Structure 1
Amino acid sequence: MSQLELLALDLETTGLDPRTDHVLSLGWVPVVRGQVLLAEAHEHRVRPPEGVEVGSSATLHRLTDDALADAAPLTEVLPLLLDALRGRVLLAHHAALEVDFVGAATATAYDARPPLTVVDTLAVEHRLRADVNGEVHGSLRLDAARRAHGLPGYAAHHALTDALAAAELLLAQVADLERRLGREVLLRDLRPRRSG
């Protein structure tokens, strides 16, 4: 971890299916050698494609059609994200969502999916809290995982706030793992998965 560079990422979307739903907001913050780099944090609102409305998803993330009318399209924001990810491990809580939406967006824009190494704080939390039978009691949601590590609560469903929340959670999880392992945490200890 003392040498690792990650990019904590969170997306707000119209739904959970990248084949039919759309990205409305992206937030990211680098985590470099165990430090969250707040000065390099970014959030971008995304204008959905023509004819697509935010719909009922606005009740979760409060991103309304009028609030996104002047936002950039995903094709303009995607290169910024890919540049921020270059040389870094993607970090997210329940990372499959971010991986799937980023993969779908790059497949549409560039006819290819990026090869990503991914650390999922949800999977790390499962590992930390599972009993001998692999069962976890209690919620693994981001806010619940943060509480379990003594971290403060944040309002959910805001891309940059959720990215920061995942970054802080990972640092707490790494500290817990280091105590358990008695050594520095390595990337393989976080059970990353490679996509793309």
Structure 2
Amino acid sequence: MFSKLKKWIQLRNLKDERYRFLFDEYFSNELVAFDCETTGLDPKKDEIISLAAVKIRDNKILTSEKLQLFVKPKGEINIDSIKIHHIRACDVSNGITSEEAALRFLDFLGNRPLVGYYLEFDVALINRIIHPLLGITLPQKMIEVSAIYYDKKIGLIPEGHVDLRLRSILRDLKLPELTQHDALGDAITSALIYLKLTQNQKI
């Protein structure tokens, strides 16, 4: 009931009917894994500088159907963030605007559920862009891979502590470590974790 009410309110607030497709009923088996690199770690003020997404269909990661965008921020990139993702201001000086990036992402996403690692942060940044533009926030179902991993592991660990660091999860699931803190690499990594955790394999 609450989800239906929330959807109704969102649709009422939608400023651009071209994006009504975001609210269409979902009948597909496709999902979208995505990730962002940012100017810093504060979702209330920092900006996206790189965004990537990749489709998942029939338990396959479709690297041929991907989106990879570089965004020119309005403000400066935090030096501590540069040390992590190695993206400097000069690397995104020819990037598109955050508004264009967000709308292109929505066109790519459609009404598919979102998959990611610590999605809440990335979704907050996207919502901060699209809310002024469209009057809505992302209505998609969110699938947090660290939550799936936690649910599968907590009963197996007597002390009740589950290491949710990305590197630890990858090591435990025997998955390859792709280039971390690269938006496309991290999106693919989230997709790999999702598939490993949802294909009824023992972990």
Q: What TM-score range do you get, normalising by the shorter chain?
A: 0.7 to 0.9
Q: Name 2:37's counterpart in structure 1.
A: 12
2:120 is the alignment partner of 1:96: yes
Pairwise CA distance, 1:179: 4.6
- Counterpart of 2:77, as a letter, is V
- Counterpart of 1:113, as a letter, is T
Q: Take 2:201 and 2:48, find their aligned partners in 1: how far apart are those partners?
A: 38
Q: Take 2:98 and 2:173, find their aligned partners in 1: how far apart are those partners?
A: 35
Pairwise CA distance, 1:14: 1.4
Identity %: 25
2:130 is the alignment partner of 1:106: yes
Q: Name 2:99's counterpart in structure 1.
A: 75
Q: Name 1:135's counterpart in structure 2.
A: 160
Pairwise CA distance, 1:134: 8.5
2:183 is the alignment partner of 1:126: no
- Counterpart of 2:164, as a letter, is L
TM-score normalised to structure 1 length: 0.82
> Which of 18, 38, 43 in structure 1 is aligned with 2:68?
43
SS in 2 for 1:21: coil
Pairwise CA distance, 1:4: 2.2
SS in 2 for 1:124: helix
Q: Take 1:59 and 1:38, find their aligned partners in 2: how far apart are those partners?
A: 27
Q: Name 2:87's counterpart in structure 1.
A: 63
Q: Which runs of 5+ in 2 are unaligned?
A: 1-27
Offset from partner CA, 1:110-135 (integer Å, 9 cap, x none):
23212120100010111111137782
Root mean square deviation, CA, Å: 1.7
TM-score normalised to structure 2 length: 0.80
Question: Contact 2:123 / 2:138 at 8 angstroms: preserved in 1?
Answer: no
Paired residues, number: 173
